[in-house]
């Protein structure tokens, strides 16, 4: 689409002194026939902005190109309603890191001008995706977390559907004798706060509760999820079995295959039809919602490897959960003979050599032991509790609770590793080593309590039962939970519009569950609101562009459906992809994956980037001016390059950076475009990947590396050295390495002849 | 822009930023007030996050981008909230904005190299000096210079005049007569996220901070390891610049201590484990020794603890350090205490010692300027009615938990805007 573009060159910041502004203007006006080009200093000052607004009104500009400081600054000042705004980074990427009044610096600036003007010419006018309309929230799980999420969302005016598999609400919270709340005065334990929540949920006008029911399936997309709710029954077991078998087969395949998950091209990844037979002759209810909160909670881990501690052998060696049951009955009595318990040993850790059987309880295990010691001391003033731990974990203000228990003469606390349990005459004999009292200690106790591990419900089943091409499960992170950025963006999962909360994402106390549930409810509301306006959610919140596919040219290779980290694509019966725009996070990884180059956004397309590459003015081979195109991640590498500029780090001016939405956005054809244009080398800079990935789209940079592994074969066929392409992982704070990365690459290229395709 | 559906967020650290963007992306208008000249608070000054060992600026940059793009968020830096009145759904707050004293289009530290006045660099916890006209740090948001007017006023007239003229010619206008601005805003909801300060280590008189050059705190260690820090990321001793080969971490420096912070700060164990990896990455020959009471790696951080303790050059001793001395000749630091397991005395010399000081809630020092707010005995905000707390204003938390909490606070604020 042709645009009427106004170009504004900022001569401030040292730009005017470093560059030939007239020559730069001519690129805009002569080469690209821009409607107007003005050069002046500090365009972001109010009087200068007024000039731009005047031009827009009087000249009918449809696009504004500001050549000056980085797009990371003055973003709000330089946005004009209804007008395309592009930026040329003359400041951080040109004059601050390259010599002033230098031929190569000038050529760099002019190339960036050409590339940006080319980009503007490739914008298309397409409306936002406005189909999603539903704003109701589905909450899965009626325990403390689910109840809180439901109430908080309902209190904000949203319709909530709460699905609980049991016949009553409350979950584990109803099964605990007392709880610690994390609220002042911190050293008390109180009755479970759950009953009040249950009452509030049951009487709330915005909440519809489904008891004894499960989510049978979720289809659709954010703002338009179709949820089928079905009474619990044998069907669930069958469904879980089928789904888990499918997942196991998929994992086994990935485990032995050389190709990463994303590169599979087969149909095995598709969910088998039997998982969701479209049977309608069962009792069910349908609801439509905008977003989902998964608060399915946890189940106790069955202790294993505890034989030496008598678990399973002696009736009086029990788990902390079993103790709650005993405590609910008042006086704590021994399971073996019903005798009232006088002494209990609580074992929190069982030694360094064991692979954390208690991992899942380590956030709360110590506190539970302290609480249960309190039960004993309350129910039997002569009672004595021993707590053996490796590290006593009572974080924050819970320290006060720990101290209160330390002050209780009936509670003995020590570091210690349990060695063995044997049957004494009337009690159990426990041997503990490495205690504070010395090497070995023997105590006789009535009851031994093992800390209960908490296994997230998602370990056993998909629960959300998504009718997605990529399967019914929420993808797991390397720690086995479903969140995808648990430090910086803890609510993100790889399924847009579905947020996890509470113990399904790690062991938590009540207080943490409550705050977590409230946050998840906000994210669900936010998602429903944003998609109803045609906007993306995090991390490109507000983006109205979405992928469009020119299906006629699709070869059904399925790469887009498989590589999307968010499962945005389903499949039509003919094998072509079916986009679900409101599931999309706009990373454009699909655009990079498509060998037919038929996926595009209104402001971002294969043609657009390819044309930008082609707009570079490549000197002939005798000029001895090599050219490098460097595709960079706009989220981390781009700011890092800005930092290099701010620090005035100098590097070769033969390089041209092209920011992408994610390095996984890289399309192989751009490599071919670059090489056929005579570009001598190509660099890719993306985020760190692996278990501790930093990619905001989870696996974009990893995919880019994988794709480049394939291109080296192509290069060899073209009789071009494979070293002409280099992929780097760079964290945002590693800007100091940029000069070396660039200059090392230039050094490598200097060992090769110029690209022989120059001038073709 | 104030008025209906507006949320006031006080504190521009990671909790406040999160509360602000989450509320704004859910449809609220937001005013974000930060007292420093930049957003990011404590995390902006950290080198890496545990357990992923990734740079905080990565997530901050995304959040800054969310703010830059969102016209519904107004940010005031160098600003304080002086009073809040009213109740949920209808508050009036008085905001005071202190002058930056500099109006610039340049936004780069390099522009002020010729500034004639140096000041202590508070961003680096005073470990080095910076110019009185400066960009607070490289990735600062807003990316604008700030001037220390007092330091500039101390420069003699002609030298200052020449500097100001030279700035003017580069598009940097310094105005030492700029005045603070005070105004009122009407908002529906208030989120308080003023975070924490590191516990003042000079109060731990037996641990030698402030007396011995090679005793530093954990927050200083973050800067020492950072490429933007006082040593450009070189982990060297403050006394003589010697590469640190043998480093001790003293846990619970002030925390879990009736005379100082009686609660556990929750994150210091993990922070020291993380900082031990800084040293090991920087200097593969070096050894780190952590002295702790309980190693509190909770929940899934246990995986991180496992990973770190498998490094044979990271030693862990269950023991409480009670005294720290300095060898007056070598400036080595000698720690003394008791090995809890063996009962034996600890007495060992190190190149440098890091005190793992805890988090003290800012509200224990600067109370919320309004009536009817309840705090616990440690100064953390208790009340969950009225003004909402987010992050460490409530209790000690790691970053991820702060974000969960701040996102929840955004929903509480959204509820307030409905005028229930």
Q: What is the CATH number of the domain that holds A250?
A: 3.50.50.60
DSSP per residue, A584-626: -----HHHHH-TT--EEBTTB-HHHHHHHHHTS-PPPGGG---
Candidates A73, A506, A526; nearest CB to B143? A73
Say if residue A520 is in the same domain as residue A630. no
- pLDDT (tens digit per residue) in A607-663: 999 999 999 999 998 999 999 999 999 999 999 999 999 999 999 999 999 999 999
Q: Token digits for A470?
A: 């990529």
Contact B49 A392 (CB under 8 A): no
Instruction: Chain B: give the shortest CA distance to residue A156, in Å.
Output: 5
Q: How many folded domains does chain A comprise?
A: 4
Q: How far apart are CA A631 and CA A615, in angstroms?
A: 15
Say if residue A339 is in the same domain as residue A431. yes
Q: How far apart are CA A9 and CA A24, in angstroms?
A: 9
- Closest by CA to A559, choosing from A263, A257, A258, is A263
Say if residue A377 is in the same domain as residue A488. no
DSSP letter, residue A275? G
- pLDDT (tens digit per residue) in B124-161: 999 999 999 999 998 999 999 999 999 999 999 999 99
Contact A538 B25 (CB under 8 A): yes
Candidates B294, B306, B404; nearest CB to A519? B404
Kindly indicate the confidence band of residue A718, based on its pLDDT and cuts at 50, 70 and 90: confident
Q: Where is the domain boundary, A105, A125, A145?
A: A125
CB A139 within 8 A of CB A295: yes
Say if residue A256 is in the same domain as residue A316. no
Candidates A42, A156, A486; nearest CB to B411? A156
Q: How far apart are CA A19 and CA A10, in angstroms?
A: 11
Q: Where is the domain boundary, A452, A475, A505?
A: A452
pTM of the model: 0.96
- pLDDT (tens digit per residue) in A301-332: 887 778 889 999 999 999 999 999 999 988 99
Contact A731 B54 (CB under 8 A): yes
Instruction: Chain A: give the shortest CA distance to residue B49, in Å.
Output: 8
Task: Residue B71: list chain A partners with CB under 8 A.
Answer: 76
Task: Residue B105: list chain A partners with CB under 8 A.
Answer: 12-13, 42, 44-45
DSSP per residue, A53-93: HHHHHHH--SEEEEEES-TTSSTTTT--TTSEEEEEETIII
Q: For residue A549, is it within any domain? A: no
Contact B58 A732 (CB under 8 A): yes
Say if residue A283 is in the same domain as residue A358. no
CA dihedral B216, B217, B222, B225 (to 10 degrees): 20
Task: Residue A72: list chain B partners with CB under 8 A.
Answer: 65, 68, 143
Burial of residue A406 (number of CB atoms within 10 Å: 0-12, 13-18, 19+): middle
Contact A525 B69 (CB under 8 A): no
Q: For residue A566, is it within any domain? A: no
Say if residue A282 is in the same domain as residue A184. yes
* CATH number, domain containing residue A35: 3.40.50
Mean pLDDT value across residues A178-202: 95
Q: How far apart are CA A571 and CA A267, in angstroms?
A: 11
Q: Who's near B335: CB < 8 A, 6+ residues apart? A: B248, B250, B291, B321, B323, B324, B346, B347, B348, B350, B353
How many CA atoms, within 13 angstroms, populate the side-chain half-sphere of residue A63? 24
Q: For residue A33, is it within any domain? A: yes
Residue in chain B lying closest to A434 (CA): B341
- Domain hosting A80: range is 1-125
Instruction: Chain B: give the shortest CA distance to residue A521, in Å.
Output: 7
Query: What is the three-class DSSP state of A686?
Result: strand
CB B415 within 8 A of CB B188: no
Strands (E), A187-245: 207-211, 213-221, 224-231
Q: How far apart are CA B62 and CA B64, in angstroms?
A: 5
CB A565 within 8 A of CB A698: yes
Candidates A392, A525, A692; nearest CB to B54? A692
Is ipTM strictly over 0.85? Answer: yes
Owner of token pair 């000056």: A68
Q: For residue A424, is it within any domain? A: yes
Contact B405 A519 (CB under 8 A): yes
Q: How far apart are CA A162 and CA A150, in angstroms?
A: 7
Q: For residue A109, is it within any domain? A: yes
Burial of residue A53 (number of CB atoms within 10 Å: 0-12, 13-18, 19+): middle
Q: Who's near A456: CB < 8 A, 6+ residues apart? A: A296, A297, A298, A360, A480, A481, A503, A504, A505, A506
- pLDDT (tens digit per residue) in B309-332: 999 999 999 999 999 999 999 999
CB A290 within 8 A of CB A537: no
Burial of residue A355 (number of CB atoms within 10 Å: 0-12, 13-18, 19+): exposed
Q: For residue A659, is it within any domain? A: yes
Q: For residue A591, is it within any domain? A: no
Q: What are the helix (H) ranges across A90-193?
A: 103-121, 144-155
Task: Residue B410: list chain A partners with CB under 8 A.
Answer: 519, 522
CB B15 within 8 A of CB B195: yes
**Rg of chain A (C-alpha set):** 31
Say if residue A340 is in the same domain as residue A412. yes
CB B304 within 8 A of CB B269: no
Say if residue A462 is in the same domain as residue A448. no
Instruction: Chain B: give the shortest CA distance to residue A463, in Å.
Output: 22
pLDDT tens digits, chain B, 420 residues: what are they?
344 689 999 999 999 999 999 999 999 999 999 999 999 999 999 999 999 999 999 999 999 999 999 999 999 999 999 999 999 999 999 999 999 999 887 666 566 889 999 999 999 999 999 999 999 998 999 999 999 999 999 999 999 999 999 888 888 899 999 999 999 999 999 999 999 999 999 999 999 999 999 999 999 999 999 999 999 999 999 999 999 999 999 999 999 999 999 999 999 999 999 999 999 999 999 999 999 999 999 888 988 998 999 999 999 999 999 999 999 999 999 999 999 988 899 999 999 999 999 999 999 999 999 998 999 999 999 977 799 999 999 999 999 999 999 999 999 999 999 864
Is the per-residue pLDDT at A89 higher than 80?
yes
Q: How far is CA A396 from the centre of its chain?
A: 27
Q: Who's near A248: CB < 8 A, 6+ residues apart? A: none
Contact B318 A415 (CB under 8 A): yes
Q: How far apart are CA A663 and CA A397, in angstroms?
A: 44
Q: Mean pLDDT, chain A, as a whole number?
A: 93
pLDDT confidence of residue A359 = 55
DSSP per residue, A432-470: EEEETTEEEEEEEESEEEEPPPEEEGGGT--SS-B--TT
Say if residue A608 is in the same domain as residue A749. yes
Say if residue A11 is in the same domain as residue A114. yes
Q: Where is the domain boundary, A532, A548, A566?
A: A532
CB B212 within 8 A of CB B333: yes
- What residue ranges define each of the domains in chain B, with the CATH number in brackets? 6-98+180-197+360-417 (3.50.50.60), 102-174 (no CATH), 200-357 (3.50.50.60)
pLDDT confidence of residue A258 = 46
Counted across chains A and B, CB pairs separated by less than 8 A come out at: 230
pLDDT confidence of residue B351 = 98
Buried b (16+ CB within 10 A) or exposed e, A561-586: bbbbbbbbbbeeeeebbebbbbbbbb
Q: Token digits for B196?
A: 């924490």
Candidates B49, B299, B404; nearest CB to A515? B404
Task: Residue A641: list chain B partners with CB under 8 A.
Answer: none
Q: For residue A717, is it within any domain? A: yes
Candidates A42, A389, A394; nearest CB to B264? A394
Say if residue A27 is in the same domain as residue A93. yes
Say if residue A211 is in the same domain as residue A291. yes
- DSSP bridge partners of B75: B32
Instruction: Chain B: give the shortest CA distance to residue A683, in Å.
Output: 21
Contact B341 A436 (CB under 8 A): yes
């Amino acid at each position: 689409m042709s645009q009427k573009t106004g170009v504004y060159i900022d001569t401030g910041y040292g730009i005017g002194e470093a560059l030939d502004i007239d020559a730069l203007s001519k690129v805009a006006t002569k080469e690209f026939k821009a409607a107007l080009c003005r050069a002046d200093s500090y365009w972001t000052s109010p009087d200068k902005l007024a000039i731009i607004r005047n031009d827009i009104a009087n000249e009918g500009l449809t696009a504004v190109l500001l050549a000056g400081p980085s797009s990371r600054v003055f973003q709000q000042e330089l946005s004009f309603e209804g007008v395309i705004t592009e930026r040329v980074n003359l400041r951080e990427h040109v004059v601050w890191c390259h010599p002033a009044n230098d031929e190569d610096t000038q050529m760099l600036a002019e190339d960036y001008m050409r590339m940006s003007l080319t980009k503007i010419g490739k914008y298309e006018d397409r409306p936002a995706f406005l189909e999603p309309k539903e704003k109701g929230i589905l909450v899965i799980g009626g325990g403390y977390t689910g109840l809180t999420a439901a109430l908080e969302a309902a209190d904000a005016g949203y319709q909530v559907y709460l699905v609980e598999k049991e016949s009553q609400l409350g979950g584990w919270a109803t099964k605990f004798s007392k709880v610690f709340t994390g609220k002042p005065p911190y050293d008390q334990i109180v009755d479970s706060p759950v009953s009040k929540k249950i009452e509030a949920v049951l009487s709330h006008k915005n909440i519809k509760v489904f008891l004894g029911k499960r989510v049978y399936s979720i289809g659709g997309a954010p703002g338009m999820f179709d949820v089928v709710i079905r009474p619990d029954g044998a069907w669930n077991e069958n469904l879980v079995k089928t789904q888990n078998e499918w997942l196991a087969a998929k994992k086994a395949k990935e485990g032995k295959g050389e190709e990463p998950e994303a590169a599979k091209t087969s149909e095995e990844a598709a969910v088998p039809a039997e998982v969701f037979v479209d049977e309608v002759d069962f009792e069910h209810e349908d609801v439509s919602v905008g977003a989902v909160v998964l608060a399915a909670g946890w189940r106790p881990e069955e202790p294993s490897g505890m034989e030496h501690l008598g678990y399973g052998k002696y009736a009086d060696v029990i788990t902390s959960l079993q103790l709650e049951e005993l405590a609910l009955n008042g006086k704590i009595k021994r399971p073996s003979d019903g005798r009232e318990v006088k002494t209990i040993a609580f074992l929190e850790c069982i030694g360094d050599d064991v692979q954390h059987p208690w991992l899942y309880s380590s956030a709360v295990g110590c506190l539970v032991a302290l609480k249960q010691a309190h039960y004993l001391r309350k129910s039997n003033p002569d009672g004595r509790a021993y707590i053996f731990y490796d590290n006593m974990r009572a974080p924050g203000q819970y320290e006060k609770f720990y101290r209160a228990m330390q002050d209780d003469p009936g509670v003995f606390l020590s570091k210690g590793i349990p060695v063995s349990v044997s049957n004494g005459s009337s009690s159990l004999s426990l041997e503990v080593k490495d205690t504070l009292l010395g090497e070995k200690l023997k105590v006789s106790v009535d009851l031994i309590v093992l800390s209960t591990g908490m296994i997230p419900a998602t370990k056993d089943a998909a629960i959300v039962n998504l009718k997605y091409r990529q399967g019914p499960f929420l993808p797991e992170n390397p720690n086995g939970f479903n969140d995808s950025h648990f430090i910086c963006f803890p609510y993100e999962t790889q399924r847009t519009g579905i947020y996890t909360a509470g113990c399904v994402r790690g062991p938590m106390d009540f207080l943490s569950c409550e705050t977590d549930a409230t946050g998840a409810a906000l994210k669900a509301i936010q998602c429903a609101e944003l998609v109803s306006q045609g906007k993306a959610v995090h991390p490109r919140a507000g983006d109205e562009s979405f992928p469009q596919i020119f299906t006629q040219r699709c070869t059904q290779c399925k790469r887009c459906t498989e590589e999307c980290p968010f499962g945005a694509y389903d499949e039509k019966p003919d094998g072509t992809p079916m986009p679900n725009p409101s599931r999309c996070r706009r990373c454009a990884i699909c655009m990079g994956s498509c060998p037919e180059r038929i996926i595009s956004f209104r402001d971002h397309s294969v043609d657009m980037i390819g044309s930008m590459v082609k707009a570079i003015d490549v000197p002939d081979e005798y000029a001895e001016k090599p050219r490098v195109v460097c595709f960079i991640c706009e989220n981390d590498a781009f700011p890092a390059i800005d930092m290099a500029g701010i620090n005035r780090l100098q590097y070769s001016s033969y390089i041209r950076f092209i920011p992408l939405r994610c390095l996984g956005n890289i399309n192989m054809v751009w490599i071919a475009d670059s090489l056929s244009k005579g570009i001598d080398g190509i660099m890719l800079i993306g985020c760190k990947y692996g278990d501790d990935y930093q990619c905001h789209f989870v696996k974009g940079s990893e995919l880019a590396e994988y794709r480049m592994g394939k291109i080296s074969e192509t290069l060899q066929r073209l009789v071009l050295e494979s070293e002409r392409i280099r992929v780097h992982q760079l964290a945002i704070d590693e800007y100091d390495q940029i000069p070396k990365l660039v200059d090392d690459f230039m050094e490598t290229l200097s060992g090769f002849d110029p690209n022989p395709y120059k001038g073709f | 822009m104030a008025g209906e559906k507006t949320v006031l967020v006080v504190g521009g650290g990671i909790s406040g930023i999160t509360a602000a963007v989450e509320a704004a992306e859910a449809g609220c208008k937001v005013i974000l007030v930060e007292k420093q000249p930049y957003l990011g608070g404590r995390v902006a000054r950290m080198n890496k996050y545990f357990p992923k060992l990734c740079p905080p600026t990565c997530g901050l940059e995304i959040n800054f981008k969310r703010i830059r793009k969102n016209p519904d968020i107004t940010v005031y830096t160098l600003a304080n909230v002086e009073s809040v009145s009213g109740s949920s759904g209808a508050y009036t707050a008085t905001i005071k904005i202190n002058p930056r004293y500099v109006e610039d289009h340049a936004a780069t530290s390099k522009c002020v190299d010729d500034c004639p006045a140096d000041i202590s660099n508070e961003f680096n916890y005073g470990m080095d000096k910076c110019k009185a006209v400066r960009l607070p740090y490289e990735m600062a948001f807003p990316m604008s210079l700030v001037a220390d007017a007092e330091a500039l006023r101390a420069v003699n007239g002609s030298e200052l005049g020449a500097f100001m003229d030279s700035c003017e010619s580069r598009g940097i206008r310094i105005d030492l007569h700029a005045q603070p601005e005070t105004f009122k805003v009407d908002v529906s909801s208030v989120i308080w996220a003023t975070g924490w300060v590191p516990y003042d280590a000079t109060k731990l008189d037996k641990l030698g901070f402030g007396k011995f050059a090679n005793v530093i705190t954990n927050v200083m260690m973050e800067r020492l390891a950072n490429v933007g820090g006082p040593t450009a990321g070189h982990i060297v001793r403050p006394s003589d610049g010697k590469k640190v080969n043998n480093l001790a971490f003293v846990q619970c420096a002030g925390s879990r201590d009736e005379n100082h912070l009686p609660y556990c700060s929750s994150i210091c164990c993990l922070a020291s484990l993380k900082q031990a990896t800084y040293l090991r990455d920087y200097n593969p020959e070096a050894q780190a020794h952590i002295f702790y009471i309980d190693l509190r790696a909770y929940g899934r951080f246990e995986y991180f603890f496992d990973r770190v303790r498998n490094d044979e050059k990271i030693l862990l001793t269950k023991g409480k350090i009670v005294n720290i001395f300095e060898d007056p000749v070598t400036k080595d630091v000698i720690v003394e205490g008791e090995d809890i397991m063996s009962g034996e005395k600890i007495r060992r010399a190190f190149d440098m010692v890091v005190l793992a000081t805890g988090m003290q809630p800012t509200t224990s020092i600067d109370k919320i300027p309004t009536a009817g707010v309840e705090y616990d005995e440690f100064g953390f905000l208790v009340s969950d009615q009225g003004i909402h707390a987010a992050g460490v204003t409530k209790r000690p938390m790691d970053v991820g938990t702060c974000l969960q909490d701040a996102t929840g606070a955004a929903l509480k604020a959204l509820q307030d805007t409905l005028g229930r």
